[in-house]
Amino acid sequence: MFSRNITSDSNTISDFDYKITLAGNPNVGKSTIFNQLTGLKQHTGNWTGKTVECSSGSYIYNDKKFKVTDLPGTYSINAFSEEERLAKEFLLKEETDCIVIVADSNILERNLVLALQILSFKSKAVLCLNLSDEADKNGIHIDVDELSLNLGIPVVCTSAVKRNSLKQLKETVFDVCSGKIKCFRVNRNFENINIFDEDNRENNTFALANLSKEICSKVISKNKKSQVVSRNRKLDKILTSKITGIPIMLLLFGLLFWITAVGANYPSEWLSSLFALLKENLYTLFEYFKMPEFFTGLIIDGVYTTLTWVVSVMLPPMAIFFPLFSIIEDSGYLPRIAFNLDRFFSKFGAHGKQSLTMAMGIGCNACGVTGCRIIESPQEKKIAFLTNNFMPCNGRIPMLIALIIMFFAGSGFGFLSSLKIAAILLSIIVMCVIMTLAVSKILSMTVAKGESSSFVLELPPYRKPQIIKTIIRSILDRTVFVLARAIAVAAPAGAIIWLVANIYIGDKSVLAYCTEFFDPFGRLIGVDGVIIMAFILGFPANETVIPIIIMSYMSGGTLVEYSSYEQLLNLFTLNGWNVITAVCTAILCVLHYPCSTTCITIYKETKSIKQTLLAMAIPTLIGIVLCFITANAMRIFI
């Protein structure tokens, strides 16, 4: 969910022999098929609305080059949601040699309605009965030949988790494109049906649903009562029940944070020691080559320090959190969260699906904002994206963990202290949720007024996630992502900070002028000028906030090594930090404007500068006010 959709394809210039399009209901494994066809790694997840844009890629079969476009999953092409409009436009306007209609073999009757809608105006297509292994287990048998005759197109059984089944699909698609297999329109299916006739939409859908039912009664035979279904029912009883539903959700997230905090500590420690050792060697090397002091400072103290901080402190928690989150996502649990919380959220003028976008926000706010598309009503969507930033993303959680370890939970090693970190982090997240709901309520009474809308959501069957595969892929993805971002953002940020700290105007560095400028304001809200400036400079990426603070302090002449949290705490204390500073920094960390990527995403989604500014202003103002109150209240007691 957190990787951006792949919209570019590597080969736009060269010509394609054939163009094929993937269409189908949401959550039928379309993205998995797309990935296997093209070798691309679009993220998949077990819930409706995963793919929100068209993605394209290509593959070669029998020496022919195929361009594949993956349409967002839609229940119909009646065009009342953004995705459906997109799918419909594409199918109508773009030339396609073959449409691959992907269906879930387990729920063919409903999936077939979309297939029939498409076949009513397009004939060159292949029906791909996906998840056929699951259907086998459920005792569902589909007569492929009979189905093919009824639809006038070839039918292929696939099981996306098994790679080989795809070969048959590729071959059939090839045969349809090359004309070896002729598709035909089954006219009797579509008498009096014109799916583009808006006024008759309900009747059309009804007629096609009946047709689907009729076809299914001919082709599907069931031979046993499914154990999978009863297992799913049992799981739902536990995960959505009055007594256990909510506690299990909290426990699950608590566990997620606990594993993240504990697990990240060790690699973080190793990486920092390694980088510290390397740093010594780098100094020696630079001295040996008699590099100018300026250059050594810029590269080692500036770029290297910031870069390695981001890698050693930010990467481990992300590399642990994301795979775990992906596993939860693949299991099909997330829609249940929306289901469980809908009533609660609607009391605050928000939509149950907002809990999904918030969960995504914990991963990445930009993705959370994009995810808000799943909320249909405009005012509830607005509330969801305006408040998404209240959930601390993965660029900010490691910062919170660092603050917790240094000021509130001790070393971070050992069982008790790790539980303490997880508990504090979970309570921070719970406070963020409360804040989100409070602001949602206010927004729903002011800028996003409107009737509470409806909740229509499919709860997909639970699926066993491919744990090993997900973990490996997700860790690799994250590592590449963090490293790329570290190089693109953290390295330049380090260079800039070092420069402003070492360029002097008069007897003061530029940095000193800046921090002194912000200092009175910073002190007022419980922090200092350096912290304020770090948040401002951290706009492109929140990961850089702490390294900027470190850099600024170190350039002030305080030469402290910081390869462990103890040393870092030492550095911070020397620069006047206390518990108040830590609490206020944590508050600011959660409550300030979204990072630049998120802001751009908000603008893209809303096409409104006003909304984007609002999304920036709301958390910032709340953060400042809250810091002011907290700092002054705490000063009375400490």
Out of 15, 191, 202, 507, name the contact with another protein by CB under 8 A: 202
Which residues make Cβ contacts (< 8 Å) with residue 223, sequence separation at least 6?
139, 141
CB nearer another protein, residue 206 or residue 413: 206
- Cβ-based nearer residue to another protein, 377 or 570: 377
Choice from 200, 205, 596, 620 touching another protein (CB under 8 A): 205
* Three-state secondary structure call for residue 557: coil
For Cα atoms 173, 179, 184, give the angle at the middle one, nearest 5 degrees.
85
Closest CA to 220 of 85, 290, 129, 313: 129
Closer CB to another protein, 163 or 242, in the complex: 242
CB-nearer residue toward another protein: 294 or 344:
344
State in angstroms the smallest separation of the CB of 223 from another protein.
12
Q: Of the listed pieces 58-66, 106-114, 319-327, 417-425, which binds another protein according to CB under 8 A?
A: 106-114
Contact region for another protein (CB under 8 A) — 182-190, 218-226, 495-503, 527-535? 218-226
Stretch that binds another protein, among 4-12, 206-214, 295-303, 542-550 (CB under 8 A): 206-214
Residues within window 78-97 making contact with another protein, judged by CB under 8 A: 78, 80
- Give me the least distance between CB of 140 and another protein, in Å please: 9
Can you spell out the DSSP letters for 539-551?
A: TT-GGGHHHHHHH
Closer by beta carbon to another protein, 235 or else 467: 235
Beta bridge partners of 142: 220
Cβ nearer to another protein, comparing 84 with 519: 84
Which residues are CB-contacts of 386 (< 8 A; sequence separation ≥ 6)? 439, 443, 447, 448, 611, 614, 615, 618
Q: What is the sign, positive or negative, of the torsion defined by CA atoms of 367, 370, 374, 377?
A: positive
Q: Residue count at the site for another protein (CB under 8 A)?
A: 45
Q: Rounded to an integer, what distance in angstroms lies between the CA atom of residue 110 and that of residue 208?
A: 10
Q: Torsions phi, psi of 67, nearest 5?
A: -100, 130
Residue 371 vs 538, nearer CB to another protein: 371
Both tokens of 477, joined, read 């993805």
Nearer to another protein, 143 or 376 (CB): 376
- Considering only residues 465 to 494 of the shown chain, the ones binding another protein according to CB under 8 A are none
The residue whose two tokens read 């002194």 is: 516
Q: Choose which of 329, 342, 528, 543 interacts with another protein (CB under 8 A).
A: 342
Token reading at 217:
């009664």
Q: Is 201 in the site for another protein (CB under 8 A)?
A: yes
Residue 113 contacts another protein per CB under 8 A: yes
CB atoms within 10 A of CB 503: 10
Question: Could you give the string, one character per residue 220-259, with x where binding to another protein holds by CB under 8 A and - elsewhere?
Answer: --x--xx--x---x--xx--xxx--xx-------------
Q: Does 206 bind another protein (CB under 8 A)?
A: yes
Pick from 570, 572, 566, 526: nearest CA to 549: 572
Q: Pull the structure tokens for residue 397.
A: 């959680």
Measured CA to CA, the distance from residue 197 to residue 79 in angstroms comes to 12
DSSP 8-state secondary structure symbol assigned to residue 105? G
Residue 541 Rama label (left phi>0; alpha psi -120 to 50; beta):
beta
Report the nearest approach of another protein to the CB of residue 429 (Å).
Answer: 19
Residue with smaller CB distance to another protein, 456 or 638: 456
Q: How far apart are CA 479 and CA 482, in angstroms?
A: 5
- Compute the distance between CA of residue 12 and CA of residue 567 in angstroms, rounded to an integer: 52
Contact 268, 276 (CB under 8 A): no
209 binds another protein (CB under 8 A): yes
Q: Are 28 and 127 within 8 A, CB to CB?
A: no
Q: Which is nearer to another protein, 134 or 477 (CB)?
A: 134
Sign of CA pseudo-dihedral 381, 387, 392, 395: positive
Selected range binding another protein among 109-117, 121-129, 380-388, 442-450, rule: CB under 8 A: 109-117
Encoded tokens for 615: 């999304």
Decide if 29 contacts 107 (C-beta within 8 A).
Answer: no
The first and second tokens of residue 80, run together, are: 């009342």
Nearer to another protein, 412 or 461 (CB): 461
- Contacts with another protein, 54-83, as mask; x by CB under 8 A: ---------------------xx-x-x---
Question: Which residue carries 């979309």 as its tokens?
Answer: 114
Only one of the segments 300-308, 339-347, 539-547, 603-611 lies at the binding site for another protein (rule: CB under 8 A); that segment is 339-347
Kindly tell me which residue out of 133, 136, 146, 376 binds another protein, with binding defined by CB under 8 A. Answer: 376
User: Angle of helix 565-574 relative to helix 397-407, nearest 10 degrees?
Assistant: 80
Span near another protein by CB under 8 A; candidates 172-180, 204-212, 367-375, 513-521: 204-212
Least Å distance between CB 530 and another protein? 46
Give the residue with the Cβ less far from another protein, 335 or 529: 335
DSSP assignments along 228-250, one per residue: HHHHHHHHHHHHTSTTTHHHHHH
Listed ranges 166-174, 200-208, 253-261, 605-613: which one lies at the site for another protein (CB under 8 A): 200-208
**Toward another protein, which CB reaches closer, 121 or 408?**
121
Closer residue to another protein, CB minimum distance, 78 or 331: 78
User: Taking the complex as a whole, how short is the minimal distance between the CB of residue 38 and another protein, in angstroms?
Assistant: 28
Residues 579-618 that bind another protein (CB under 8 A): none
Select from 106, 308, 357, 474 the one that contacts another protein (CB under 8 A): 106
Taking the complex as a whole, how short is the minimal distance between the CB of residue 353 and another protein, in angstroms? 11
| Distance separating alpha carbons of residues 283 and 290, to the nearest angstrom | 10
Side chain identity at 329, as an amino acid letter?
Answer: E
Residues lying near another protein in the complex (CB under 8 A): 75-76, 78, 80, 106-107, 109-110, 113, 201-202, 205-206, 209-210, 213, 222, 225-226, 229, 233, 236-237, 240-242, 245-246, 335, 339-344, 352, 376, 454-461
